[in-house]
Amino acid sequence: MAISDTGSRRMRRAAPRIPFGGWPEAGRATGRAAISAGWWCASLGLLVGFWELAWAVGWANPILLPPPHIFLADLTDQFRYFDPTGGRAGAMGEGGSVWSVLGVVGWTTMRVTVGLVLGFVLSLFVGVAIRYFDVVGKLTLPLVTILAPISPVAWIPVAVFLFGIGNAPAIFLVFVAIFFVMTLSTLTQIDQVPKEYIQLARTVGASKRQIYRHVILPAILPGLFVTLRMNLFAAWMVVLIAEAVGVGSGLGQVTMMARNTFNASLVFFTMTLIGLTGFLFDKAFGLIQRKVLWWVGPSNVGGL
């Protein structure tokens, strides 16, 4: 009996204790996130450290290439160039706070978001219409193929002619940058749907609309989201160019104004804002992607 009690106590001590509520999995996820954040900080710190070292040894001119400790030293002086009411540059009487900077960032983000949503939704409908309506395909596909290689920058005069100055031309350019690529991607994704899926749906009596909704759409959305995410940074570049030359507001206009006035500190401060905003935008899109594609495994979503 004594031997049995001793063995029982040893087994109880050796048995792993699993916290209530699935904490081990949550702990592993937190650990992975912490490790990823650590590598991001190390990567950014390497760039900042090299930049500061180049300034310290005299390789970088502080007037032309001011290191972070210089262009971030007086943030109030940088804030005064941001107008939160419309995202305009150089409105010194209305800027001057963190909220003014966030307002300008918000205007640029809004233009990217609206352009992406419009381009994604319309390209999805157009791509499906091309494949499932013969007349639409014959009339539309040649036009899409011809317009797709044209750079969005070449559309800037057209956007200004059509919409003037404001939010509309920037949104239009983001739409153009996404629409044609996503339409061709939609056609490719539809062609890659296994024929067995469609045949099985027809066998059980599914209508054409049901096949599209329950077979085609779930099959093509994962690939379309990956393509859209790969074009996010292209959309950001387009909207910044549009703001710089054709809109008159936003982060792109602040950058252009800083360049024209040879304000290097403002240039690098705005570049920092653009990088951080694009990074957060991509992370937010990754979260939306995982929520929308709930039937796809985490390893197949394409998140970075």
34 within a domain of the structure (yes/no):
yes
124 within a domain of the structure (yes/no):
yes
Residue closest to 250 by CA, chosen among 117, 109, 93, 71: 109
**Residue 116: CB atoms within 10 Å:** 24
Residue 191 sits in a domain whose CATH number is 1.10.3720.10
Q: Which amino acid is it at 136?
A: V
State the total domains in the chain. Answer: 2
Q: Are residues 115 and 30 in the same domain?
A: no
4 within a domain of the structure (yes/no):
no
Q: Are residues 116 and 261 in the same domain?
A: yes
89 within a domain of the structure (yes/no):
no
Q: Are residues 27 and 140 in the same domain?
A: no
Q: Are residues 228 and 281 in the same domain?
A: yes
Q: Are residues 157 and 40 in the same domain?
A: no
Query: Helix or strand or coil: residue 129?
Result: helix
96 within a domain of the structure (yes/no):
no
- In 57-166, alpha helices (H): 68-71, 75-79, 98-132, 134-147, 156-163
Q: Are residues 55 and 106 in the same domain?
A: no
In terms of residue numbers, what domain contains 52? 23-59
Inter-residue contact 220 to 198 (CB < 8 Å): no
Reading the block at residue 113, the tokens are 């978001």
Q: pLDDT tens digits, the chain, 304 residues: what are they? A: 444 455 445 444 444 454 444 445 566 767 777 887 788 888 888 888 888 888 888 887 777 788 888 888 877 778 888 876 655 555 444 556 788 888 888 889 999 999 999 999 999 999 989 988 889 889 999 999 999 999 888 898 888 888 888 888 899 999 999 999 999 999 998 888 888 888 888 888 888 888 888 888 888 888 888 888 888 888 888 888 888 876 667 888 888 888 888 888 888 888 889 988 888 888 888 888 888 877 765 555 554 4
Q: Are residues 244 and 156 in the same domain?
A: yes
